[in-house]
Structure 1
């Protein structure tokens, strides 16, 4: 009998191989950029604290000593105005530091950082904000902690910009295998197009950060069909 001819082996599609390599290269580059971005924000916040913050505090102390030797009321009034101005600068500097990098993230962990973020945000914007956090302090890598905090920040930012909500809740869950952070509100809910395409650059960056850590980011309506829910899920052992 005549032997049948063997089928030639299938060769990989050069286009597909090149696309996969390009995607891997872009993923690695994005990971490097996000790490550099986080480090630069952390360093800038430290500089604001160590230099500007300490200088403003010293000026406040010197002004208080000087005011003790002022006896005329116009001079004392001017000193009081200067003190108030310095206090305003110190508070602005503190808020800038917090927006850049929350030191609680590094020293106390994501739980403390998220709690402070939610409390400060609710107080500043007059919206009822509540953080639901685990009783214990879960262990996260630094990259996971940053991603969880960035998700909370981006979720609150979108609530303020789009949701028209009167209440928001930030929920952090950890079952030992994965961590899940959800920001949900009682507002108008997301547009379907925004939920599908992540047209907001902040959400797209956050989604890519989640992918780098082997996780997922989803945006949809709340569990009861009202409002919006932004959910970040990260495996405790990154892929």
Structure 2
């Protein structure tokens, strides 16, 4: 009996698949380039503006010691306060662009700092449950994990009206799973696994490029919101 030949893909399907592959590769290159630009900009802010502001604060402190009139001292104190505000704003901008702990200490340290600072700043009980050991991740994986934590916290603050947030990183050696869950109002019908804002869509593409997945839905008890990122460890 003659075995039928396998069906060949139509020319249009081949062209569509090739186009999708090209766009996927382009997105990966753009994401990598974007991350590198953010890292370099954060470094410039630290090395240039941050160092200059710190030096100005020190010089102003030395100068104020020689001021005799109280109005002059008051003005110097106001100037020092303004400089401290600029330094703090610069620090926050650096962290939003790129967290140096991610590069030098790894995602575990970067996520721990993020959760602690975020909870203190917004007055929300935020807890981080992280592995005892420091799992090894590639830079793209580490960036994806940190961006997911940032996006989950951002959504909890902006949309969920949550009072408690848990950030949980599990790693079994084969895959990493990061979950950000809160006790807020839930994701709503408009937020599904295939929809969401710009940040979620970009994060979903990051996960897909690394062979992983991103899901957004209700918490394990049906309450609140859970954002979960799963990344296979063999992805690079």
Identify the TM-score tier after normalising by the shorter chain: over 0.9
What is residue 159 of structure 2 aligned with on the other side? Answer: 162
SS at match of 1:60: helix
Aligned to 1:221: 218
Of 166, 169, 184, which aligns to 1:172?
A: 169
The unaligned stretches of length 5 or more in structure 2 are none
1:213 and 1:50 mapped to 2: Cα distance? 32
For residues 124-145 of structure 1, the C-alpha deviation after alignment (integer angstroms, 9 at most, x for no partner) is 1111111111111111111100
In the aligned structure 1, how far is the partner of 2:84 from the partner of 2:5? 78
Q: Which residue of 2 aligns with 1:38?
A: 35
Question: In the TM superposition, what are the counterparts of 1:21-60 in structure 2 within 5 Å?
Answer: 21-60=18-57
Following TM superposition, by how much is the alpha carbon of 1:112 offset from its aligned partner in structure 2, in angstroms?
0.3
Distance in 1 (alpha carbons) for counterparts of 2:14 and 2:154: 39
Show CA shifts across 1:180-226 (max 9, x none).
00000001111233114323111111011001000010111111110
Q: Secondary structure at the match of 2:192?
A: helix
Once residues 168 and 149 of structure 2 are traced to their aligned partners in structure 1, the CA distance between those partners, rounded to angstroms, is: 9
How far did 1:5 drift? Answer: 8.3
Secondary structure of the 2:18 match is: helix
Partner SS state of residue 170, structure 2: strand
The correspondence for 2:97, drawn from 72, 97, 100, is 100
Query: Does residue 1:86 correspond to 2:83, yes or no?
Result: yes
Compared with structure 1, are the counterparts of its residues 67 and 6 closer, same or farther at alpha carbon in structure 2 (3 Å cutoff)? Answer: closer
The residue aligned with 1:130 is 127
TM-score by length of structure 1 reads 0.95
What root-mean-square deviation, in Å, do the aligned CA atoms of Structure 1 and Structure 2 show?
1.4
- In structure 1, stretches of 5+ residues that fail to align are none
**Which deviations, in whole Å up to 9, do the C-alpha atoms of 1:11-66 show, x marking residues without a partner?**
32112111111111111000001001100000000000000000001101111111
What corresponds to 1:114 in structure 2? Answer: 111
Deviations 1:57-108 (A, max 9, x none): 1101111111111011011111111111111110110011011100000000
